[in-house]
Amino acid sequence: MTRPIRVLVVDDQPLLRGSFRVLIDTAPGLTTVGEAGTGAEAVERTRQLRPEVVLMDISMPGMDGIEATRQIAGSPETAETSILVLTTFDLDEYVYGALRAGAAGFLLKDTSPDVLLAGIRTVAAGESLLAPTVTRRLIARFTRLPPPHPAPGPSPDQLTAREREVLVLVARGFSNADIAEYLQLSRGTVKTYIGRLLSRLQARDRAQLVISAYESGLVSVAQQPAES
């Protein structure tokens, strides 16, 4: 029997924590292992409970969700835990800050229960997840920034042509299956390329691959498909 995905629910509002807990505990293959009402408590409970996923609020008293995400993602003790940020606000600084801190996904609290549960499963599987409005805001942020300066450390310029091609498709929001079909590769080969990119660019997950592609200038808004 497969062990359920273990989730820590973090929110400063007890009523919301309770609602999320009921939703998660009644969903197949998911279970909550605890709750936290502050960022500091979230960090401590993650160390204690080692959940697969933390459902993280951003706006909390004291340490906010972005700093809590940074501490959880940056600690070897808890780096394997995936963080799905769930917040009322889709402000640019929240989206960008959460992803830079190491969040694997970002959803809004007005999302449907089915989408939330699917999001938990998605980040637990090692994929990244962004709400459509969040994706548009992340892209829009880069249109307002000055041309990026070369970042310290590994650069996409050091990648092979095929690796850069895969990175561009990841940044455009393609799934592994989409990339495999587009490039006429097997899904296993695509997974291998993703693993290489994560290693070579020292990225935690796909969300940080997207940021790397934009910050390096490898991908621009002009390369994004038009919205339907």
Q: 134 with 153, same domain?
A: no
pLDDT for position 226:
39
- Token pair of 57 as six digits: 């609020």
pLDDT at 154: 58
pLDDT in tens, 28-70: 999 999 999 999 999 999 999 999 999 999 889 889 999 999 9
> Are 160 and 116 members of one domain?
no
Answer yes or no: is 83 within a domain. Answer: yes
What residues are paired with 118 via a beta bridge?
A: none
Closest CA to 167 of 124, 207, 108, 110: 207
**CATH number of the structural domain spanning residue 88:** 3.40.50.2300
User: Locate tokens 């549960």: which residue?
Assistant: 117
CATH of the domain at 169: 1.10.10.10
Tokens 């990175």 sit on residue: 167
Distance CA 110, CA 87 (A): 9
Structural domain contains residue 228: no
**Residue 54: inside a domain, yes or no?**
yes
Residue 160 domain-assigned (yes or no): yes
pLDDT of residue 21 exceeding 80, the answer is yes
As a whole number, the mean pLDDT across the chain is 82
* The pair of three-digit structure tokens given for residue 12, joined into one six-digit string: 């400063």
Give the distance, in angstroms, between the CA of residue 118 and the centroid of all CA atoms in the same chain: 13
What angle in degrees, to the nearest 10, is found between the helix axes of 206-215 and 187-200?
60
* Same structural domain, 19 and 103: yes
Give φ, ψ of 34 to 5 degrees: 170, 180
Tell me the C-alpha distance between 203 and 215, whole Å. 13
Cα 166–Cα 168–Cα 174 angle in degrees, nearest 5: 75
Establish how many alpha carbons lie within 13 A of residue 7's alpha carbon, considering only the half-sphere containing its beta carbon.
31
With a pLDDT cut of 70, the percent of the chain lying above it is 80
* pLDDT reading at 228 higher than 90: no
Mean of pLDDT values over 130-140: 56
Q: Are residues 89 and 161 in the same domain?
A: no
Question: In this predicted structure, what is the pLDDT of residue 99?
Answer: 77
Same domain, 93 and 158: no
Q: How many domains does the chain have?
A: 2
**Domain check: are 24 and 127 in the same one?**
yes
Whether 32 maps to a domain, the answer reads: yes
The DSSP output letter for 152 is S
> For position 107, what pLDDT does the model report?
85
Tell me the residue range of the domain where 118 lies. Answer: 5-140
Residue 128 is given by DSSP the state -
Given a cut of 60, whether residue 135 has pLDDT beyond it is no
> Is there a domain that residue 183 lies in?
yes
Among the candidates 85, 108, 140, a domain finishes at: 140
- Do 105 and 203 have their domain in common? no
Instruction: Give the pLDDT mean for 131-157.
Output: 54
* 208 shares a domain with 186: yes
Contact 35, 19 (CB under 8 A): no
User: How many whole angstroms separate alpha carbon 8 and alpha carbon 123?
Assistant: 13
Segment 124-144 shows an average pLDDT of: 61
pTM: 0.68
Closest CA to 56 of 138, 129, 4: 129
What length does the chain have?
228
Shared-domain flag, residues 193 and 102: no
> In this predicted structure, what is the pLDDT of residue 31?
97
Within this chain, do residues 130 and 210 fall inside the same structural domain, yes or no?
Answer: no
Residues 121 and 179 in one domain: no
Instruction: Check residue 213 and give its pLDDT.
Output: 82
Which of 10, 16, 84 shows the shortest CA–CA distance to 44?
10
Q: Which of 90, 105, 140 is the last residue of a domain?
A: 140
Q: What are phi and psi of 45, to 5 degrees?
A: -70, -35
141: closest CA among 203, 69, 67, 90? 90
Boundary (domain end) residue, out of 116, 140, 164: 140
Same domain, 26 and 104: yes
Mutual orientation of helices 92-101 and 65-74 as an angle, nearest 10°?
20
For the stretch 104-119, pLDDT in tens is 888 888 889 998 999 8
pLDDT: which is higher, 67 or 89: 67
pLDDT in tens, 180-203: 899 999 988 988 998 889 888 888
